[in-house]
Chain A
Amino acid sequence: MALISLLAVSAIIFWCVELLPGDAAERILGRNATPESLALLREKLHLNLSAGERYLRWLSALLSGDLGTSIVADRPVLDYISSRIANTALLSGFALLLYIPVSIALGVITAIYRGKMIDHAISAIVIVFMCLPEFVIGILLISIFAIKLAWLPPLALIGQAQSFGQLIQLIALPTVTIVAAMSAYAVRMMRESLIEVLESSYVLMARLKGLPTWRVLLFHALPNALGPAINITALNVAWMIGGVVVVEAVFEFPGIGRLMVDSISHKDVPVILAISMVMTGAYIATNLVADILVILLNPKLR
C-alpha cells in the first residue's frame, strides 16, 4: 500500500512540475541566456527527451537504487539531499524534544485548572500562537531575543557552530518558533480529552483507593487522554518535515523544505522527486508509528 502511494505521488509530482512553464536550462542561465547556450545546455541535461521518457528513466534508475543526479547542482541527489535531511531531522528532533513535555504539561495544567485564571491565560496564549503565522512568531523572536536583548544569534547558520553549546544557541529560536506553532492544537486536544477522562468513574475509583494525586494523573488518566494528542502529533511531525519551509526561510536554516522550494524554482526534477519521496515516506511512517502507539496505550484496541 505504502509503495503504491509513493509511486502515485512520484507520478503526480512529475506531471505537476511538467506543467510549470519554462525549463531548467532557462532557469539556470536566467537573463544571460542566448539561443545557442540554451540549446547546448538542454542537450547536456537531456531536456530534449520527451517527458514520458524522462520519467521512465528516473523510475528505472530508482528501482536499481539510484536517485539520479541533480541537473542543476550537477551532483548525486542522494549526496545532495542527505545533509539537508540530516539538518531537518536535527531541527525536528529538538522541536519534538521540547514539544512533547510542553504540550503535555500545558494540557494537564489547563485541564486541572479548568475555568481558572491560569487556564484562561494559557488557552489565550496558545490560541494567539495558533493564529499567528510562523514567520511572524519567528521575526518577533528575532527582534526580541537577538536584536533587543542580544542573547541569541538571529539566524540558524548551523555551519558556524563550533561546539554543541553553540549549536543549541543557533537552533534555539527556530525550535521555539516551531514548538509555538505546533503545540497549540496538541494542548487543546490534551485539555479536552483529559477533562473527559478525569470525570470518568475509574479515576474516581483510583482516588477512592487512596492513590496519590501524581499516580492517578500519570498512570491512570494520562495514558487514556494521550490518544487524540498522539494523532495530532503525527500530523504535526509530518508538517514539520515538509512544511517548516517558512521557518527555514526566516532563520536561513539549511533544511529540506527550502531545498524543495529552490529545486521547484529551478525545475530540478530529480531533486524534487527525491524530496517528495522522502516527505511522503516520512508522512506514512509517522502515521504508522502514531497508530501503533495509540494501540499500545489502549488495551481495548489490542
Chain B
Amino acid sequence: MYGKDILRISRRKVLAGTGAALAAGPLSAALHVPKSWAQAKTLRIAAGEADGATGTMDPALSTADPDAARISLVFERLVVLDDTFSAAPQLATSWETNDKGDEWTFKLKDGVKFHDGEAFTAKHVIYTFKRLLDPKTASPGASSMSAIDPEGITALDDLTVRFKLKAATVEFPALIANRFTYILREGQPESELRTAGIGTGPFKVKHFVPGEDVSTYVKNENYWRPGLPKVDAVELRAIPEESARLAAIQSGQIDLVWDLGRAGVEDLKKNADIKVVTTRSPFVLTMSCWADTPPFDDVRVRQAMKYVVDREQMLQLVLRGYGNIGDDNPVAPWVQYALQVETRARDIEKAKALLAEAGHPDGIDIELYTSETTPGFIEMATLYQAMASEADIRVKLNKAPSNDYWSAVWLKQPFVCSSWSGRGADDALAAPYLSTSDWNETHWKRPEFDAFINEARATTDVAKRTELYQKAQQLLRDDGGAIISMFPDALGATRANVSGWKLHPQQSTKDFSEVEIG
C-alpha cells in the first residue's frame, strides 16, 4: 500500500482544482448560441426523405422529394394544379382545345427569361416534351403521358404551342401539371441537366453535387413575377432522422420542414417559436390485394376485407386525426369528379357472412407486407390485423426492409401496404387501376372500368364526364382490391418568423417563392 500513501493528493489541491472548474462556468455562457442561429434572408429547408447519391435536378428523372424541391426552386411548368387539383396557368397564359379534345393549343407568357437571359419561347416547350417522351431519356414519367404524339408538338408562332394527341384527353392541362414537365432551356447540354439546370424559376442553382449534404440556390433577380422571391438564398438539405429534424427546427438550425411524423406535432404546437402548417391532401394510404389470386379472386372476400375496417378509428389511431376518412376510392370526396356516397361502415357480421358465402366459413389466413418506407404503414397494418381478426380474417404481418420495398415487395407480393401521392381524379384512378398501367398494384382488370375512364377523357360535356368518372369509382369501390381507409393531411412546420408558405396537396409541388423571413 505504499504507492497509495505516496501519491495522496492533499485536500487543498483538490479544492483548488474544483475552484478552477467552477471559474470555467461563465465560459459556457460565452458559448451561448443565438436562438435563431440564422443569417439574414437565407431560407434553410430540410427534406424528410433521404437525399443521397441518387439526387438529381433533371425533371425528367426526378423520383425523390428533395429532387422535387430542387426542381421547383429552379424550373417552372406551363400549368400547375391548384389546391383542388384543377389546372391553373403558370408559364402558359391560356389554352384551348378543339371539339374532340385531341388537339390543344397553349398561349405562352411573354417576357419570361431563363436564368442565362434567353427568352422563353415555344421551342423550349417543344424540346422539353420531346426529350421527356424520348425512350432514350428513360423518364419514369413518359408512360403516363403516352397520349402525346412527340411529332405532333408544333410551334404556331414564338408564343403558341400546339399538342396533337393520339387519343382525346379532356383533362390534358392537368395531366401535364406533374413533376416531370418542368420547362428546360433548349440548347443546354444534357450533361449539365442533372446538377446545373437553367430554368425560369425564382431561384438559380449555386451549388449542387449529388451525395453532398447541402445544395444552395440564389435569388433570380430577373424573375418575372414582380417582388418575388422574397428571400435572397435557399439552402436545401435532407434530414431523414425524424428526431433530428424536429430538434433542428426547434433550435432554429432549420427554418422550414415539409414532412413531419404525427408523433412530434403535438410538441411543436406548444412551442411558440414554431408554426405548424397543415393542408388537406388526397394522399392515399392503401392496402392492396391481387384480385386474380386466391383467396382475393372472389369479390366477396375482397368486400369482407373492406367491411372489417373501422375507418374512424384508423384515422384517430394511425393519423391522430390529421387526415380524412377514405371509402376504398382513391378520389378524395373534395376533389373534382369525386363520387359522393356514404362511407362504408364497419360490419363484422356481414364480413363473416360474405366469407362463408365465398366458401370460407372458418375464415381466411393471409399475409400482409408492410414497411417503414411510408409513415403510417406499420400502424395501419397492425391495426388492420386486429380489426380483421374479429371476422376470422387472420392476417400475418411481414415487415419488409424499407430501402428496397418499392422494388422487391410492391407489385411482387399479393397483399401489400401502398401509398400514392395526391393526384387529380383521372390520374388517381388511371395510374394504379387501369388494366394497362405498369403500376396496376391490385391486378384488377375490368374492361368496363377502362372504358369509363377512356370515355370520360373524350367527353367534353362536364356533367357527362363527371358521371363517367363516378361510375368508374363506384365499380372500383365495390369490386376492386384496394382497401383505402384514410387520406393523411400533409404536415409541415416553419419557424415563427417565416411567413407566406403554403403546403401544396400535390406532394411534388413545392413553391418557396413567396416565403418571407422576419
Q: A interface vs B, CB < 8 Å?
A: 21-22, 26-37, 40-41, 70, 72-75, 80, 83, 112, 114, 139, 142-143, 146-147, 150-155, 157, 159-160, 162, 169, 195, 198-200, 203-204, 207, 213, 216-217, 249-252, 254, 259, 262-263, 265-266, 268, 271
Contact = CB atoms under 8 A, between A and B. Distances in A.
A225 to B, nearest CB: 12
A251 B32 CA distance: 19
Given A27-B403, A75-B210, A155 B35 contact: no
B30 to A, nearest CB: 10
| Candidate in A30, A200, A268 with the most chain B CB atoms within 10 angstroms | A30
B50 to A, nearest CB: 7
B237 A157 contact: yes
B407 A26 contact: yes
Contacts of B438: 34-35
Contacts of A268: 53
Contact of B63 (A30, A80, A254, A263): A30
Interface of B: 1-4, 6-9, 28, 31-33, 35, 37, 39, 44, 50, 52-55, 63-64, 135-136, 138-143, 194, 209-214, 235, 237, 239, 241, 243-244, 247-248, 250-251, 253, 403-404, 406-408, 410, 438-439
Contacts of B6: 203-204, 207, 213, 216
Majority secondary structure of chain A interface residues (helix, strand, loop or mixed): helix
Contacts of A159: 213-214, 235, 237
Contacts of A22: 404, 407-408
Contacts of A271: 53
A112 B4 contact: yes
B510 to A, nearest CB: 18
Nearest to B439: A31
B213 A157 contact: yes
Where chain B touches its partner, the secondary structure class is: loop
B2 A207 contact: yes
B31 A70 contact: no
A28 B58 CA distance: 14
A139 B243 contact: yes
Given A112-B9, A159-B213, A252 B3 contact: no
Contact of A213 (B7, B139, B143, B194): B7
A271 B54 CA distance: 13
Given A160-B44, A265-B404, 8 more contacts: A22-B404, A30-B407, A147-B251, A157-B213, A169-B31, A198-B7, A203-B3, A271-B53
Contact of B53 (A112, A155, A169, A266): A266
A195 B7 CA distance: 11
Contacts of B139: 37
Contacts of A31: 63, 406-407, 410, 439
Most buried by A among B6, B32, B33, B211: B211
